[in-house]
Chains A and B, each alone.
Chain A
């Protein structure tokens, strides 16, 4: 919690994560996660134990804790990229709560299409697909007309200072910072009700960091619930309403 205290307006949340006002857009209930490494003699590594986190619409919660405490693991569990050992991840989707940990694959994909966005640290895309299309695709998947989606993608890429000359190129040869901005545009374009951000400003310069801070503020005003990992404490203190502590687990059982 030491670093977290440096930020001015942020209140660490209650252990139960009960600070959220109103009905949460996303919440976990007794979420636990172990990894069993069968190739290393079946060693078990516990990472998360009984995590209870709730985030309301329009709220931004920053995950805090030292490296290796399990912040990224928690994010991946929230997105359904990792399964849970026990407990639940409830996402308000289509007027009801869906448990990402137990929903079938088709339902998880529907939640990801309409409700739950994730900006990871790495851009993983099909070779040959141009940047602008990568950003437009989630919009088209939700039914936006192609020309409208492409226009919106171009506008957001431009706002993130990615020159128009690059929009028609696949991002494989882009720099790390450029790829991250493609990833951010893809994550922010659809206006998901819940958005997960894993180090969204890690390889950005000051100007682009400002753009991301503004995008987060706008998303919050639009009612998006945001959960983020921010190593950049200055950015974190400007966007986060509170911190949620992810404590390292003790040694493997």
Chain B
């Protein structure tokens, strides 16, 4: 199977700070890849560069053979509407707060070409159920939702168009532990059911272990170690990975 996305030789420096230093990465259909590392390691920058939201100073990102940074803004926005999804750490960045819950989900369907109001509403209702939001709240504003509900709504909004590749930036950050578990279970089930490829940035090692097939460990803009998730976590080779793994509290 060929890679869905392939990046190589990525360089991005902010002054003297290397945010990305010769980063390469592949992601295949149906694969969940976690990027872990401490704050400032470059993991969110990598996600934004891969999603075309930031340009690297060197290197290329190919999606389905097309150069993401050479394709032009319109084509990239088209991908964001159809093939890709982006789940932000803060649901307020991914939702429209002055549009109803149903509208948030339906809007993305409309952007992807759906026109029939009844169908859109039916599909939005279905997706609210899938992310465990009471469909009776379809006309409520997201502002009236809890943080965990907002995050689930953002996931529904992102997945309703059945993207092939989803970028997630700390999707469980800032949520209660009980809500995190529910969200992890939900993400895992949807990923398996829809066969999505997911690139997830997280500093939550336990979440990465449960969700990801493969893991990349970043530090100072470099990928210091990568491979099978359980091998990276249980038999870490790089000093930094050993430090990271040994610093996690066992629950």
Interface, chain A (partner B; CB < 8 A): 35-39, 76, 80-83, 105-106, 108-109, 124, 126-129
Report chain B residues within 8 Å CB of A127: 181, 184-185
* Contacting pair B188 A126 (CB below 8 A): yes
Range class of the B interface residue count = 20 to 34
Are B234 and A128 in contact (CB-based, < 8 A)?
no
Stretch of B98-106, B114-122, B155-163, B235-243 at the chain-chain interface: B235-243
Q: Which of B45-53, B72-80, B81-89, B223-231 contacts A (4 or more CB under 8 A)?
A: B223-231
Q: A105-B214, A126-B185, A127-B181 are in contact. Are A83 and B230 (CB under 8 A)?
A: no
Q: Is the interface of B mostly helix, strand, loop or mixed?
A: helix
Interface assignment of B31: CB less than 8 Å from any CB of chain A: yes
CA A124 to CA B214, docked complex, whole Å: 17
Q: Which of B188, B210, B228, B237 contacts A108 (CB 8 A)?
A: B228
Residue in B closest to A127 when the chains form the complex, CB atoms: B181
* C-alpha spacing A128/B228, complex, angstroms: 24
- When C-beta atoms are compared, the residue in chain A nearest to B31 turns out to be A106
Specify which chain A residues have a CB less than 8 angstroms from the CB of B214 in the assembled complex: 105-106
Whether the pair B213, A82 counts as a contact (CB closer than 8 A) is: no
**What residue in chain A is nearest B236 (Cβ atoms)?**
A38
The reply to whether B231 and A129 contact each other, CB–CB distance below 8 Å, is no
- Asked whether any CB of chain A lies closer than 8 Å to the CB of B137, the reply is no
Q: What residues on A are CB-neighbors of B239 within 8 Å? A: 38-39
Taking CB atoms and an 8 Å cut-off, the chain B residues in 4-61 that contact chain A are 28, 31
Residue of B with least CB distance to A109: B213
Q: Is B144 on the interface with A (CB-CB < 8 A)?
A: no
> Do A106 and B213 form a contact, CB below 8 Å, given A39-B243, A126-B188, A127-B181?
yes
Q: In the assembly, what is the distance between CA of A87 and CA of B210, in Å? A: 29
CB contacts (< 8 Å) of A126 on chain B: these are 181, 184-185, 188, 210
Q: What are 13 A-B pairs at a CB distance below 8 A?
A: A35-B235, A36-B237, A37-B242, A38-B243, A81-B234, A105-B227, A105-B229, A106-B214, A124-B209, A126-B181, A126-B188, A126-B210, A127-B184
Contact A106 B185 (CB under 8 A): no
Select one of B230, B235, B242 contacting A38, CB under 8 A: B242
B246 at interface (Cβ–Cβ under 8 A)? yes
